[in-house]
């Protein structure tokens, strides 16, 4: 609602993804609003909770459609499963070497361990990288983009009950 711009936008929707209204946080239009509110070197991070592979891929495809430089990370702990998508506003890769440089910054290390008892260092995050942009593009190539007009992740239970093709998609890991 405000015209302000931000260096970082973090989206942490409550699971499950098919909860009423949650789909609005996974649409192309919402991600475009986020992108337009970032500073030139800003970054958006989206947590995707664990769910059916097809739902995860649709969300990833939609995020990638708005943020072509999207990186996917798995969770560093089992207590907070899921994936983290990070996309930048301007084209260009994320500087992964910054992770290693962060090992010597105690403020960063303290931020990482604030919510867990596990020891996590910035350099360890490099090992959690699942996809860089090109690999992600191949992984989601055959998925639709979620939009306000096509909220694919809404009501998967009903789709699986009444649409055998959709039920098959939920049970097959694409």
Mean pLDDT value of segment 156-161: 65
CA 26 to chain centre: 9
Q: What residue ranges define each of the domains in the chain, with the CATH number in brackets?
A: 6-94+128-171 (3.40.50.150)
Two tokens at 121?
A: 């260092």
- Phi and psi for 51 in degrees, rounded to 5? -165, -170
Angle at 114 between CA 112 and CA 118, to 5 degrees: 70
Mean pLDDT confidence for 133-152: 92
Q: Has residue 174 got a pLDDT over 50?
A: no
Confidence of residue 165 (pLDDT cuts 50, 70, 90): low
For the entire predicted model, the pTM comes to 0.83
Of 74, 77, 78, 97, which Cα lies nearest the Cα of 86?
Answer: 74
């Amino acid at each position: 609602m405000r015209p302000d711009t931000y260096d970082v936008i973090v989206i942490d929707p409550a699971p499950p993804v098919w909860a009423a209204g949650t789909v609005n946080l996974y649409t192309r239009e919402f991600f475009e609003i986020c992108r337009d509110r970032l500073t030139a070197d800003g970054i958006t991070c989206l947590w995707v909770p664990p769910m059916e592979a097809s739902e995860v891929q649709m969300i990833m495809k939609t995020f990638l459609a708005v943020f072509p430089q999207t990186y996917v990370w798995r969770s560093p702990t089992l207590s907070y499963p899921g994936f983290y998508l990070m996309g930048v506003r301007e084209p260009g890769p994320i500087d992964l070497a910054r992770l290693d440089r962060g090992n010597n910054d105690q403020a960063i290390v303290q931020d990482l361990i604030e919510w867990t008892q596990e020891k996590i260092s910035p350099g360890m995050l490099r090992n959690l990288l699942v996809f860089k942009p090109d690999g992600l593009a191949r992984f989601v190539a055959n998925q639709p983009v979620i939009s306000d007009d096509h909220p694919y992740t809404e009501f998967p239970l009903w789709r699986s009950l009444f649409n055998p093709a959709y039920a098959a998609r939920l049970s097959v890991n694409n």
